[in-house]
Amino acid sequence: MKEKFRDMKFKWIAIALVISLFFHIGVLLGFGKIHISLPSFYFIETFILSKEKKPTTSPELNEKIQQESENVSEKNGNSEIQRDTTEEKEEYLTQNEVESLSKLSEEKKTEEVPVIHNNFKKFINEKMRFDIYWMGIYAGYALINVKGNEKEVKIISEVHSAPFISNFYYVNDKAESTIEHGKPKHFRFLQIEGKHRGDKEIHFNYDSKEITFINHIKNKVSIHKGVEKVFMDVLSGFFYLRSLSIELNKPVLIDIFDSDKFATVEVKPIKEEVIETSLNKEVKALVVKPELTTEGLFKRKGDIFIWLSNDERKIPLRVETKVSVGRVVAELKEYKKD
């Protein structure tokens, strides 16, 4: 009997992993160990501290101005003419220098702060249900619901264990991500898995370049300042992945902030194949493999594979992960888009 309980526990840990990646990251970010970066997932600390501003006039420019002034002085022997000529030259050179520095600054800014498109609104009114299986046994289900408007989009994900499984290992998880103008604003993850409890919250404030992480269970608060990049939480990260153009054998990177850590997840598109859905329809799918290094929504061991519809919608059709005993599979059973 103990062995049975142990197997059931493995099963749910696995399930958790799978779903995690699925729904919450970013890929899925259930991913307690995935790779997405902005644009993709193996998370590395990539946030950049604010940098010291450069002076508008370079030492080379000052040297040029001084040299020009001396030349004018030698030719004319007139201090007044020298001053006027120097000021005129200085004004001219300064203008060029400012334009040059401005151009370089813009290029650098574009390089350091990726432009985040606001394509999350395309997912508004999406509703998905996934059934979860462990070694072919029905173990529970997951729900994803997206709502919002042009300004704000909210993604809500829930994972529940089946009645029979709940007798051994009760699961009731809920994650909610709020995205404003294409950037994450708030993330909350409430977790009940067996005896484990979790309550984590993230506040993203890109106006003040700050990210605040709160662990309500441990009464821990961390404030990260000088954040120049845009980081996703694990749930918005997965939807961000769906909004990107994905090509076979071209990894996608997504910058993620998860469990008080900055990381860059790499998602590898590894193959294309046709799969049969629960409605007995054959659908062309792109199989991607996220590489996670953060905790994500669940802890897991083993690779995770996600089947996305090979079209603009990139609907998650199936998620699979190997666990200590067997494998866990989440299959899309219902999809609606009003």
Total structural domains within the chain: 1
In a domain, 81, yes or no: no
Domain that includes residue 166, residue range: 2-49+116-337
In a domain, 54, yes or no: no
In a domain, 333, yes or no: yes
Tell me: the pLDDT tens digits for 53-103?
333 444 444 454 455 545 544 544 444 434 444 344 334 444 555 455 445
Tell me: the pLDDT tens digits for 217-273?
999 999 999 999 999 999 999 999 999 999 998 999 999 999 899 999 999 999 999
In a domain, 102, yes or no: no
Mean pLDDT over each residue of the chain, to the nearest integer: 75
In a domain, 146, yes or no: yes
In a domain, 65, yes or no: no
Q: Which residue has the higher pLDDT, 72 or 6?
A: 6
Q: Please name the residue that has the structure tokens 């409605």.
A: 279
| Dihedral (Cα; 52, 55, 56, 59), 10-degree rounding | -140
Contacts for 168 with CB less than 8 Å, ≥ 6 apart: 5, 8, 9
pLDDT in the model for residue 195: 92
In a domain, 222, yes or no: yes
pTM for this structure? 0.65
- In DSSP terms, 307 is beta-bridged to 287, 318
Mean pLDDT lowest for which of 1-10, 147-156, 178-187, 216-225?
A: 1-10
In a domain, 326, yes or no: yes
